[in-house]
């Protein structure tokens, strides 16, 4: 119920911002047109935002046949999380990262990058996917995907206002100066609304995901490794659609590492400290001596002796069919 209320408030805020941009472009008529566009966008955002996000991130669905080990891992974690099996997608980028999307647990998807499979250990990958399962279970994905879709639409509307004569319209109450301000401030306002969705959900998803996987230290290790590697590789799809950045477990864009007002994610160091503290509380160690959650999570790790392959995309296996450290 709280999630539906939060999503409603978010939609209202983004709709109001949409109407404000329309007013600056064309006065009252522009505001009315913007309201109609916002209403349609809200409907599309609710029903199809997950498909749009996956398409924008150039994600490709994988099957039990093309990625059997990954499929078994996700299936086991979904069972532990108590949610239906989500669809699995692969993003063809060497940047290690992942995100979840979907309007509810029955219509959810988890997308992982080929770089995540290539560079991380199996237990670390399981911990990352468990984090995404936590977002699905708490229904964060609805809020996150709708925010991404509408924030991107607001930015485009602001650009249209500049390039299609908004500044010259007689109905524009502030003239060309107002249009310029709108072009720069509307995307910033949309980003602030994204932040208002609350970065605390990442901390909660870290904790819930660690409980699902049974290994907080694996997630801490994964975040440390991702933070070291992510900014060495450009995630082209994410750079083209920066409004989607907050969906990922780690900021896929260059820069913006500080834990400040305009960061899409909490500081990774703070997240790692919290997970290590949780690991100490659970008395989990990396040697696997404790037969509790660690042993329970062992079935989600790949068991094939030959290691894992990055599933093929478009007829090729990732980048040259490289094998990740899965054995």
Exactly one of 75, 121, 132, 281 is catalytic; which is it?
A: 132
Residue 150 pLDDT greater than 60, yes or no: yes
pLDDT of residue 149: 67
pLDDT of residue 232: 87
The mean pLDDT value for 21-35 works out to: 76
The mean pLDDT value for 91-101 works out to: 95
Give the whole-number percent of the chain exceeding pLDDT 90: 37
Quick one: pLDDT band at residue 7, thresholds 50, 70, 90?
low
pLDDT of residue 316: 37
Active site residue 211: no
pLDDT of residue 307: 45
284-296 pLDDT, tens digit each: 444 455 544 444 4
In this structure, the dihedral spanned by the alpha carbons of residues 241, 246, 252 and 253, taken in order and rounded to 10 degrees, is 60
Quick one: pLDDT band at residue 255, thresholds 50, 70, 90?
low
| CA diameter of the chain | 73
pTM above 0.85, yes or no: no
Quick one: pLDDT band at residue 131, thresholds 50, 70, 90?
very high
Residue 4 pLDDT greater than 80, yes or no: no
52-69 pLDDT, tens digit each: 889 989 999 999 999 999
The mean pLDDT value for 139-148 works out to: 77
Quick one: pLDDT band at residue 181, thresholds 50, 70, 90?
low
Give the whole-number percent of the chain exceeding pLDDT 70: 65
Quick one: pLDDT band at residue 163, thresholds 50, 70, 90?
low
Positive or negative: CA dihedral 50, 55, 59, 64: positive
pLDDT of residue 188: 72
Q: What is the 3-state secondary structure (H, E, C) of the chain?
A: CHHHHHHHHHHHHHHHHHHHHHHHHHHHHHHHHHHHHHHHHHHHHHHHHHHHHHHHCCEEECCCCCCHHHHHHHHHHHHHHCCCCCEEEEECCCCCCEEEEECCHHHEEEEEEHHHHHHCCHHHHHHHHHHHHHHHHCCHHHHHHHHHHHHHHHHHHHHHHHHCCHHHCCCCCCHHHHHHHHHHHHHHHHHHHHHHCCCHHHHHHHHHHHHHHCCHHHHHHHHHHHHHHHHHCCCHHHHHCHHHHHHECCCCCCCCCCCCCCCCCCCHHHHHHHHHHHHHHHCCCCCCCCCCHHHHHHHHCCCCCCCCECCEECCEECCCCCECCCC
Q: Tell me which of 205 and 171 has the higher pLDDT.
A: 205
The mean pLDDT value for 22-42 works out to: 76
Residue 272 pLDDT greater than 90, yes or no: yes
Is-contact 205 138, C-beta < 8 A?
A: yes
The mean pLDDT value for 30-44 works out to: 78
Q: Tell me which of 237 and 22 has the higher pLDDT.
A: 237
The mean pLDDT value for 257-261 works out to: 45
């Amino acid at each position: 119920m709280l999630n539906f209320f939060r999503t409603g408030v978010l939609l209202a805020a983004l709709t109001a911002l949409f109407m404000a941009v329309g007013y600056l472009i064309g006065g009252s008529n522009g505001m009315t047109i913007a309201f109609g566009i916002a209403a349609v966008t809200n409907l599309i955002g609710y029903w199809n935002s997950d498909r749009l996000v996956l398409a924008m991130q150039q994600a490709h669905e994988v099957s039990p046949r093309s990625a059997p080990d990954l499929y078994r891992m996700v299936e086991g974690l979904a069972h532990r999380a108590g949610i239906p099996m989500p669809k699995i997608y692969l993003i063809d980028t060497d940047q290690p990262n992942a995100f979840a999307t979907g309007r509810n647990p029955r219509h959810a998807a988890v997308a992982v990058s080929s770089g995540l499979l290539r560079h991380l250990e199996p237990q670390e990958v399981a911990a990352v996917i468990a984090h995404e399962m936590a977002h699905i279970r708490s229904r964060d994905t609805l809020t996150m995907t709708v925010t991404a879709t509408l924030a991107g639409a607001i930015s485009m509307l602001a650009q249209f206002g500049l390039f299609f004569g908004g500044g010259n319209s007689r109905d524009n109450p502030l003239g060309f100066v107002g249009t310029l301000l709108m072009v720069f401030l509307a995307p910033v306002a949309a980003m602030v609304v994204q932040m208002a969705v609350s970065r605390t959900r990442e901390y909660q998803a870290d904790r819930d995901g660690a409980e699902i996987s049974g290994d907080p230290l694996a997630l801490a290790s994964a975040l440390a490794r991702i933070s070291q590697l992510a900014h060495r590789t450009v995630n082209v799809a994410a750079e083209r659609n920066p409004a989607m950045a907050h969906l990922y477990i780690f900021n896929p864009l260059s820069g913006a590492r500080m834990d400040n007002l305009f960061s899409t994610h909490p500081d990774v160091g703070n997240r790692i400290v919290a997970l290590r503290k949780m690991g100490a509380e659970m008395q989990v160690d990396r040697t696997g001596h404790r037969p509790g959650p660690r042993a329970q999570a062992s079935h989600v790790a790949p068991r094939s002796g030959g290691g894992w392959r990055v599933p093929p995309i478009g007829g090729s296996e990732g980048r040259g069919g490289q094998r990740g450290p899965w054995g």
